[in-house]
Structure 1
Amino acid sequence: MRKKQLSPISPLLPQNTEYGFTLIEFMVASSLALVVLLAIGITYGTTSRMKRTSENRLAAQQDLRNVSELVLRDAQMAGAFGCFNMGNLVPKELPTSPGSSDGFQSPAKFQLKLGDPNYNGISTMSNTDASAAFSRHNFIPKPGSKVLVFTYGLHPTPLDSTGTKTTGASEELRSVVRAGGHVALSSCSRMYIDKHRSNNIKINSNEVDVSDFGTGPRTSNSNNSAVFYIPQTTLSQVYSAAYVVGRINGVNDTDALYRFTLDKNGQWSNPQLMAANIQSMQYSAIYSGCDDTSTKVTFSENRDQLKSTANITRVSTLPTIIEVQLRLNNSPSTYGVVNQYLIRANVRGGNICANLF
């Protein structure tokens, strides 16, 4: 009878042994897997929220930077129409009709007045005027928030030696004339803006005929506020930009900062959204003063007080610096803990103590 050969290791193995995980081990492993998956899900959700918040804040900050750039540009050019500047101390006139020097008032509710610090190229608009000016866009300005308006000339084009027509003109300027928009005829000491938008102006080819436009003679051998000195005289588009906090009725239910620009036809264009979630906008001005021989400058927010200070003889009607303060809504997804944003801009025409003009 043959004996069964056993493997030399078989005695070491228990008989009838079951292999695999026990129920408890399986439950523990499953629990650990769920914990890992839950941790991954929470991490992904947190990362996604942080990414969205970061993108929203970055977009909001970029909007504010864009606002700053536009305000800086508008402030720098405010009150300038070619070599005519509302802020310098050159004796000048701004007639709107023969024998008148009361300034210019647009149907779009902005004004220009010589010697008036409230209407010198940087001005504020009342809530009533703002509601009337922007009503056709269903825009509702926020009560109590300032409406800031900058006004200056664009596309200045010189006249020929006769003083009756431009020496060529850009398409932008010609399109303003065709649309009946506001244009300004200006030398360094005299400017004329027609209240009725481009009356008595004709376009011949690429030239603009201004022989019947403006009040006051044109001469090449005299330079004073009673005449247009031809070598200095230009024709330019009257341009305005208004910054307003409010909302568009039926479109949004929160206030934001909008920018309106003067269209070619002399009316306000559609509102441009500049920055969302803005509560209000406030504006302040800083003036500078000095004497006739020194460049030592004194600054003050009170222009009248500056004018009455001893030894100060030069004070511009335009501010030297403006500050625009935006109050932001507390929104963790956009501005975070920041609730104010300050824009400080230099005004070229108000910097008379630097002998720039």
Structure 2
Amino acid sequence: MKTNNNNFYITAASKPKGFSLIEFAVASLLSMIVLMAVSKGYFTARQLNTAANERLTVQQDLRNAANMIVRDARMAGNFGCFNMTAETEIVQKTIGGKTMATVQAKVGGRKIKDNNSATAVSDAFKLINDSDNLLAIRSISRGNFKPSDFNTGSDALIFMYGTGNGRIGGVSNEVDNGAPLIFSSCDTLVRPADDTMPTNETVRNALGTSSDDNEITVMNYIVNAYVVGNIGGQQGLYRFQLTSDNKWGNPQLLVKGITDAKLKYLYINDCPEVVVPESSDDFEKFQYSDSLSRVPTLIRMTLSGGVQDANQIYTIDAAVRGGNACANRTL
């Protein structure tokens, strides 16, 4: 007899495939959190990178500005073999209630003539001939430094010197025609009445017949100014240059965001009578001052402000060639 075994199997209902609404919501929330974290990290990195680039730009601008000021300080007063700091004498002066030996330009030791009516009327451009000759380096108060459309925010530091090496017989090869000119020999400095390329006789007559042709130099007359101010809404440290029309040219922005510049001058006093004094009290004395009264040993420019931090302080020190008068003496 055949038996039929009918087996019945009960299977559970199959689960639906995919995400539930709650799982989808949780996954979406997690993805949003991750996206927000990544975005925040990205923008934070961008901000840090931007800040680092700005700091790098400021540091580079400061280095460039410092290099310009240091170069001008070393060049100041040099006009061929005529050097404004070359002839000095020691005199007794009362400084701060104390009498001490100081070094100043030698009276009558050189001849300086300014025949240019366009620049002779300007405190920044004119040549001076007196015992406290500050031809090489000057400070013009903010109230008296007024280039067109420029709002001055500090005193202006001025440097003056000559560039080029035009010689008798080849003047035009070394200097720019139409740019400010100056003639020099070892004992005479002349600013001509106009800046057209001179003939050899014109230069000789201006300097005097006693001048040796080998000492005569025709140069471009350089006057540079460093000052803090504002033009067109841009605040910063600017550089101005004397141009061919005998006026200040367009300002060159050196460092953005600078709001002030303080100037200090280091002077050397009490030059010892021997090279190596026996007593430490007999060594030369160095003194900082806020006023420019003679050729300094060093100029310190302290800048305030900046693109990122208005309270940031930067310092530029520039040594003046020939300013250490004690070292220039012949004992």
Q: Tell me the TM-score normalized by structure 1.
A: 0.73
CA contact (8 A) 1:87 1:317 kept: no
In structure 2, the CA distance between the partners of 1:97 and 1:19, relative to structure 1 (3 Å rule), is: closer
Tell me the distance in 1 between the aligned counterparts of 2:74 and 2:246.
22
Distance 1:124 1:152 in 2: 15
Instruction: Look up the SS of the partner of 2:135 in the other structure.
Output: coil
Aligned partners of 1:182 and 1:107: how far apart in 2?
A: 14
Residue matched to 1:44: 42
1:237-256 Cα deviation digits (max 9, x unpaired): 210101121122xx21x521
Deviation at 1:2, TM superposition (A): 8.0
Displacement of 1:210: 3.1
Report deviation, 1:3.
Answer: 7.0
Shift of 1:105: 3.2
For 1:352 and 1:229, how far apart are their aligned partners in 2?
A: 28
- In structure 2, the partner of 1:260 is 240
Deviations 1:296-330 (A, max 9, x none): 532123599xxxxxxxxxxx94111110111114x
Q: Deviations over 1:32-68 (max 9, x none)?
A: 1111011111111111111111111211221111110
Q: CA separation in 2, counterparts of 1:130 and 1:115?
A: 23
2:150 is the counterpart of 1:139 = yes
Higher relative contact order (CA 8 A, sep 6+): 1
CA contact (8 A) 1:109 1:129 kept: no
1:126 and 1:51, CA in 2 relative to 1: closer, same or farther beyond 3 A?
Answer: same
Inter-CA distance 291–198: structure 2 relative to 1 (3 Å threshold)? farther
Q: Distance in 1 between matches of 2:289 and 2:305?
A: 27
Whole-angstrom CA distance in 1 between matches of 2:17 and 2:214:
105
Deviation for aligned residue 1:4: 8.0
Aligned-pair CA distance for 1:69? 0.6
Alpha-carbon distance in structure 2 between the residues aligned to 1:338 and 1:240? 31
1:272, distance to aligned residue in structure 2 (A): 0.7
Partner of 2:175: 173
Partner residue of 2:78 out of 70, 77, 80:
80
> Which residue number corresponds to residue 217 of structure 1?
209
Secondary structure of the equivalent of 1:353? Answer: helix
Out of 122, 126, 146, the residue aligned to residue 137 of structure 2 is: 122
Rate the CA distance shift 1:172–1:126 in 2: closer, same or farther, 3 A: farther
Instruction: Report what 1:27 is aligned to.
Output: 25
Deviation for aligned residue 1:15 = 3.1
Tell me whether 1:320 sits opposite 2:300 in the alignment. no
Distance change in 2, residues 1:213/1:278 (3 Å):
farther
How many angstroms does 1:209 deviate by? 4.9
Q: Which has the higher strand share?
A: 2
Q: Which runs of 5+ in 2 are unaligned?
A: 89-105, 277-282
Give SS of 2:112's match. coil
Q: CA RMSD in A?
A: 3.2
Q: Distance in 2 between matches of 1:118 and 1:128?
A: 22
For residues 88 and 303 of structure 1, what CA distance do their matches in structure 2 show?
Answer: 24
Task: Classify 1:32/1:116 alpha carbon distance in 2 versus 1 (closer, same or farther; 3 Å).
Answer: farther
* Number of positions where the alignment pairs a residue of Structure 1 with one of Structure 2: 298
Secondary structure of the 1:301 match is strand
Deviation at 1:348, TM superposition (A): 0.5
Q: Structure 2 matches for 1:149-188, cutoff 5 A?
A: 149-158=158-167, 166-169=168-171, 171=173, 173-175=175-177, 179=178, 181-188=179-186
The corresponding residue for 2:286 is: 299
Identity between Structure 1 and Structure 2 (%): 31
Tell me the amino acid that sits aligned with residue 226 of structure 2: Y
